[in-house]
């Protein structure tokens, strides 16, 4: 997940770990929606360059990129990760969200997916730009809609902790 829009490249070409993957234009978004799934069942939604949400196979939030900040699950909260540079090294600083900050973050994510769920139900509002998948476009749309609904069912649950370097 790139930290800056200019670093994001063309996800349809570059995100080779995500297959299937697809890009959609939604009537209410200026930038395209990119979706992709890994072999292990983990999947991601890129609402343009920001926000980005990554989920495990159970639709529990693993990582996010929101308002230019990178977040990673700690199991019971999200850690905001910030790069700090000095003359000798780069260090990743971690700040664990408080309970109220976590709640606000998850509520905002839920609103994104509630809106997406509503839009997804109207095929006129969702235009597929391109896809790389073995399934038909309609099967792919159903798969993605099922994942959207799973996210909404589990919107308060985080994936198990992603271990970082100690």
Task: Using the predicted structure, report yes or no on whether residue 6 has a pLDDT greater than 70.
Answer: no
* Domain contains 158: no
Are 143 and 135 a contacting pair, CB within 8 Å?
A: yes
pLDDT in tens, 92-144: 899 999 999 999 999 999 999 999 999 999 989 999 999 999 999 999 999 99
Are 149 and 140 a contacting pair, CB within 8 Å?
A: no
Least confident window among 1-15, 20-34, 123-137: 1-15
| Domain boundaries, position 96 | 5-153
* Domain contains 17: yes
* Domain contains 149: yes
* Domain contains 72: yes
Tell which residue, 81, 38, 73, has the closest CA to residue 158. Answer: 73
How far out from the chain centre does Cα 142 lie?
18
Mean pLDDT of 30-51: 94
Tell which residue, 54, 156, 38, 74, has the closest CA to residue 108. Answer: 156
How many domains are there within the chain?
1
pLDDT in tens, 53-98: 999 999 999 999 999 999 999 999 999 999 888 778 888 899 999 9
* Domain contains 112: yes
* Domain contains 159: no
* Domain contains 70: yes
CB under 8 A, 24+ apart: contacts of 89-92: 92/164, 92/165
């Amino acid at each position: 997940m790139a930290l800056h829009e200019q670093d994001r490249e063309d996800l349809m070409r570059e995100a080779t770990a995500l297959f299937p993957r697809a890009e959609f234009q939604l009537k209410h978004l200026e930038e395209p929606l990119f979706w992709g799934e890994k072999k292990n069942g983990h999947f991601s939604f890129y609402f343009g360059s920001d926000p980005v949400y990554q989920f495990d196979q159970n639709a529990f939030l693993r990582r996010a990129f929101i308002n230019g900040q990178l977040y990673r699950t700690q199991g019971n909260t999200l850690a905001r990760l910030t790069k700090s540079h000095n003359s000798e090294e780069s260090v990743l600083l971690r700040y664990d969200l408080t309970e109220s900050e976590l709640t606000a973050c998850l509520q905002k994510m839920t609103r994104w997916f509630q809106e997406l769920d509503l839009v997804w139900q109207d095929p006129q509002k969702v235009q597929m730009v391109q896809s790389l998948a073995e399934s038909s476009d309609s099967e792919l749309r159903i798969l993605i809609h099922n994942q959207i609904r799973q996210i909404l069912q589990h919107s308060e649950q985080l994936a198990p902790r992603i271990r970082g370097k100690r």
